[in-house]
Structure formats: structure tokens, C-alpha cells
């Protein structure tokens, strides 16, 4: 559903990032070629790219960003204007406007 927010949770290592990579890869390979942005706060660009290649989840409209600063993430969202957005993982994001640790209730 357009405008939906979906939160995926679970224990470390169960495949949340892999699942999201597969879903985004499938979405950007559709006929209408929607744009997607995968933001990784924990893994490097090379780690994410390696996973995408291994899973055949690559596409010209799939952008990957390694960033945990919320202001920078918002700039890229405005620039790229993705139809689909994954932030992996939300607890690594931090806002300059909130004086608390990443992963705290205030930051999330």
C-alpha cells in the first residue's frame, strides 16, 4: 500500500537484511522500473553490494547508501525520490537535533 511503513524485527542473523534485499531487487526489476533506496547504517557499501550481487538483486534503479545520520539520509531521499525505502537498521540512525545515543527511544 502506498505510504505504508513496515517494521521488520527479529534476532540478529535470521535474514532480515537478506529478505529486504530480495524484496527490493524484485521490485526494481518490474516493468515500470520504480526507484528504490537501501540505506545501511551497519554494513559497508561493499558488503551490501556483495549481498545484492550474490542474490541477483541488482538494478539500475536500486541505490545503496551507507549512512546513519538522519539529516544526510533525508537529503538523499529528497534527491533520489525513491518509491521504496529500506533503512537497515533504524536503531543505528542518529539525528543531530536529538542529544541522546543511537538506538535510544528519543533517537528512534
Residue 71 is inside which H or E element, if any?
helix 70-80
DSSP 12-60: TTSSHHHHHHHHHHHHHTSTT---EEEEESSS-HHHHHHHHHHTT---T
Q: Provide the percentage of residues in the chain whose pLDDT is more than 70.
A: 98
Tell me whether residue 99 is in a domain. Answer: no
Establish if 101 belongs to a structural domain: no
List of long-range contacts for 6-9, beta carbons under 8 Å, 24+ apart: 7/90
Can you give the pLDDT at residue 9? 92
Given a cut of 80, is residue 105 above it in pLDDT? Answer: no
Q: Which of 62-71, 83-92, 94-103 has the lowest mean pLDDT?
A: 94-103
> Is residue 57 assigned to a domain?
yes
Q: Is residue 6 part of a domain?
A: no
Q: Over range 59-85, report the average pLDDT.
A: 92
User: How far is it, in rounded angstroms, from Cα 80 to Cα 1?
Assistant: 20
Give the range of the structural domain holding residue 57, as residue numbers without chain letter: 16-92
Per the CB < 8 A criterion, the answer to whether 77 and 59 are in contact is: no
Domain count, the chain: 1
For residue range 6-39, what is the model confidence (pLDDT) as tens digits? 999 999 999 999 999 998 888 888 767 788 999 9
Domain membership flag for residue 2: no
Residue 54 placed within a domain: yes
11 falls within a domain: no
Rg of the chain (C-alpha set): 14
Select the more confidently predicted residue: 95 or 47.
Answer: 47
pLDDT at 78 over 90: yes
Q: Is residue 69 part of a domain?
A: yes
Amino acid at each position: 500500500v502506498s505510504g505504508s511503513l513496515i517494521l521488520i524485527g527479529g534476532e540478529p542473523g535470521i535474514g532480515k537484511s537478506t529478505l529486504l534485499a530480495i524484496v527490493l531487487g524484485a521490485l526494481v526489476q518490474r516493468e515500470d522500473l520504480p526507484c528504490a533506496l537501501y540505506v545501511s547504517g551497519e554494513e559497508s557499501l561493499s558488503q551490501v553490494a556483495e549481498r545484492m550481487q550474490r542474490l541477483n538483486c541488482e538494478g539500475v534503479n536500486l541505490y545503496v547508501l551507507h549512512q546513519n545520520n538522519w539529516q544526510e539520509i533525508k537529503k538523499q531521499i529528497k534527491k533520489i525520490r525513491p518509491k521504496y525505502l529500506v533503512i537497515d537498521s533504524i536503531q543505528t540512525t542518529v539525528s543531530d537535533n536529538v542529544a541522546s545515543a543511537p538506538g535510544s527511544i528519543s533517537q528512534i
